[in-house]
């Protein structure tokens, strides 16, 4: 089933510079606006506030089980933690794990382990090289747990903390890893082959994954094995998606006009957050 009409979508936020990394937490949608160097939290009426400012591009986010916000400060290769008083402290130093700056997405599991990926080359001008996934444990220690990932992008962890799934944007696929008791990853295997370049992803209660597709201007729902269950067509690129809302059936679509990698920070504010009704609720978020 395809949703073809934008009339079925609602606009929650507009005027964002480069929105990314949506997370549903504590009754609000949290979005990292890379272009504005701001983390913004908004309720379902669109009332928003800036909760953190970090001069970094990229700058992905997720929350620890106790509610504290983690921010990937790619510019100085650190993982930051926002304390209850709003101050930012270093949660982990990532500098020794990769030679390139573009630390990208993050996901936190139910035990407080954070997985952060590095794309492996200087995007967009550098020669392609595969990226890595690092594990940051609750005490702030960091180590590499996977490599050979073709432009690692969005990630999710299943609610049982047993499987991590990552979007390989340059591999045109979603890849799954088994998670060991100590957080290590093993048994990397294809979860779904897709026709395009998957970006940000989220998981629902029927074990299907939604992924954003920038180039084809759509958000796609697939099941393990690659069967396409639903496609939402848009008028601009979809960079990421997240399920949330009171019943977790609201699909938040992070969209923006895309002029290519050389124009990622062009100063325009065409970024939006759209809402659609999802067929299955999200899982694993408070």
CB-neighbour burial class of residue 32 (10 A; exposed 0-12, middle 13-18, buried 19+):
buried
What is the helix, strand, coil percentage profile of the chain, to 5? 5, 55, 40
Give the predicted TM-score (pTM) of the model: 0.95
Q: 260 versus 125: which is more confidently predicted?
A: 125
126-130, 161-165, 184-188, 259-263: range with lowest mean pLDDT: 259-263
Average pLDDT over residues 211-219: 97
pLDDT band per the 50, 70, 90 thresholds, residue 100:
confident
Q: Is the pLDDT of residue 247 over 70?
A: yes
Local structure of 114: helix, strand or coil: strand
> Domain map of the chain by residue range?
2-277
CA gap 154, 203 in Å, rounded: 11
Ranges of H-type helices in the chain? none
Cβ(63)–Cβ(72) below 8 Å: no
pLDDT of residue 6: 44
The residue whose two tokens read 């899982």 is 283
- 21-42: pLDDT as tens digits: 999 999 999 999 999 999 999 9
263: CB partners within 8 A, 6+ apart:
none
CA torsion 33-240-276-6 (nearest 10°) is 90
pLDDT of residue 122: 87
Q: Is the pLDDT of residue 7 over 80?
A: no
pLDDT of residue 261: 61
| 2-3 and 228-233 strand pairing | parallel
Q: Is the pLDDT of residue 285 over 70?
A: no
Q: Is the pLDDT of residue 222 over 60?
A: yes
Report CA-CA distances (Å) from 224 to 116, 144, 190.
23, 26, 9
Please list, residue by residue across 6-30, b when 16 or more beta carbons sit within 10 angstroms of its beta carbon and e when fewer do.
eeebeebbeebbbbbbbbbbeebbb
246: CB partners within 8 A, 6+ apart:
none
pLDDT band per the 50, 70, 90 thresholds, residue 265:
low
Average pLDDT over residues 139-149: 97
pLDDT of residue 263: 55
- 228-242: pLDDT as tens digits: 999 999 999 999 999
Average pLDDT over residues 128-141: 97
The domain 2-277 belongs to what CATH superfamily?
Answer: TolB, C-terminal domain (2.120.10.30)
């Amino acid at each position: 089933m395809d949703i073809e009409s934008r009339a079925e979508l609602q606009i929650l936020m507009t005027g964002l510079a480069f929105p990314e990394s949506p997370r549903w937490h504590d009754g609000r949608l949290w979005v990292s606006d890379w272009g504005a160097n701001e983390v913004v939290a908004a309720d379902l009426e669109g009332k928003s506030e800036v909760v953190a400012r970090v001069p970094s591009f990229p700058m992905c986010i997720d929350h620890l089980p106790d509610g504290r916000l983690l921010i990937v400060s790619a510019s100085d290769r650190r993982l930051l933690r926002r304390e209850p008083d709003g101050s930012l402290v270093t949660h982990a130093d990532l500098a020794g794990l990769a030679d390139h700056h573009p630390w990208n997405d993050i996901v936190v599991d139910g035990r407080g382990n954070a997985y952060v990926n590095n794309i492996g080359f200087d995007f967009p001008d550098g020669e392609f090289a595969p990226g890595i996934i690092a594990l940051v444990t609750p005490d702030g220690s960091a180590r590499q747990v996977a490599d050979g990932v073709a432009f690692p992008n969005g990630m999710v962890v299943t609610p049982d903390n047993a499987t991590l799934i990552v979007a390989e944007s340059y591999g045109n696929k979603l890849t799954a890893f088994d998670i060991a008791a100590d957080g290590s990853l093993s048994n990397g295997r294809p979860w779904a082959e897709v026709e395009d370049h998957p970006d940000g992803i989220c998981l629902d209660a029927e074990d299907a994954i939604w992924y954003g597709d920038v180039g084809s201007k759509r958000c796609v729902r697939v099941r393990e094995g690659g069967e396409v269950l639903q496609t939402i067509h848009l008028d601009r690129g979809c960079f990421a998606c997240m399920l949330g809302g009171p019943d977790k059936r609201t699909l938040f679509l992070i969209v923006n006009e895309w002029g290519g990698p050389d124009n990622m920070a062009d100063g325009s504010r065409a970024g939006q957050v759209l809402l659609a009704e999802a067929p299955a609720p999200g899982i694993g978020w408070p």
